[in-house]
Structure 1
């Protein structure tokens, strides 16, 4: 979607001074004239509310100046949260040591501790074995939330 591409460009500009922050996703939901713009930003060491607010102000000001969103809209800038699937290599690296649930393209769910992230694959330690899974075989990965 053209609007999402433009908003991503604005968000990338807003974080350009930080090597630590990265854009995970940009989504525009709703109907023209009443839309919700979601910008998901993360950092190698997490992201603060203050950083999200700063990015939101910068992106919002640019969106108003360029006036490319017709009608009214709501802009939300936040971290993706634990229930959001991992989509970027950088997210996997950030989550080494955590438990993941990986759904393969074949429909198999594999749980295990993320031991290492390679260029083309991840390495998990499950209850019985260690195994590697190629990124191209992964449909979706999520951090397994544990309340201990």
Structure 2
């Protein structure tokens, strides 16, 4: 039986020692397997193909059929791993808190407990950096519901 845990183990075996890491694994009741990966550097199609072949090599389709899709984390997807935060230091992000609050700004730093943002405010239609705190706004991971990169087409 193909399980999420088994796919996680097989994927992590392949990714160990690389700059890539597992984001998510989903296995449907009809054995449709979806694996999402990310990396400290951009993921390309050859990375996805290599992992797909590694996973496929562990199973026999004659015994149990499955459909497999391996993809990189999309730019519009929320961060789910501290390594995604670290890789995106210096980028504009939107942080949604569990209490419904929203913070937008430049991700300045990340550690195991908090992130620090240089927040932006809007004044008369123009974005300006808030000067409320020179150190930035510190937000605990326990307060964060989700964080996404703000995509700008300037």
Corresponding residue SS for 1:57: helix
Displacement of 1:119: 2.1
Selected match of 2:42 from 28, 42, 46: 46
> Which of the pair is proportionally richer in helix?
1
Displacement of 1:16: 2.2
Per the alignment, residue 83 of structure 1 pairs with 76
Gaps of 5+ in 2: 121-129
- The Cα offsets for residues 33-72 of structure 1, whole Å up to 9 and x where unpaired, read as 3x4211111110121110110100111121337x5xx5x4
Per the alignment, residue 57 of structure 1 pairs with 53
Gaps of 5+ in 1: none
- The Cα offsets for residues 16-37 of structure 1, whole Å up to 9 and x where unpaired, read as 242x1111111124xx33x421
In structure 2, distance between residues paired with 1:147 and 1:23:
28
In structure 2, distance between residues paired with 1:90 and 1:146:
22
Corresponding residue SS for 1:115: strand
In the comparison of the two structures, how many residue pairs are matched? 139
- What RMSD over aligned residues (CA atoms) do the two structures have, in Å? 1.7
In structure 1, distance between residues paired with 2:32 and 2:148:
24
> Which contiguous aligned blocks of 4+ residues in structure 1 show a shift greater than 4 angstroms?
none
In structure 1, distance between residues paired with 2:7 and 2:36:
11
Per the alignment, residue 16 of structure 1 pairs with 16
Give the TM-score, by structure 2 length: 0.83
Give the TM-score, by structure 1 length: 0.86
In structure 2, distance between residues paired with 1:147 and 1:63:
43
After superposition, where does 1:1-148 map in structure 2 within 5 Å?
3-18=3-18, 20-29=19-28, 32-33=29-30, 35-64=31-60, 72-127=65-120, 128=130, 129=132, 130-148=136-154
Larger Rg, first or second structure (1 or 2): 2
Displacement of 1:84: 1.3
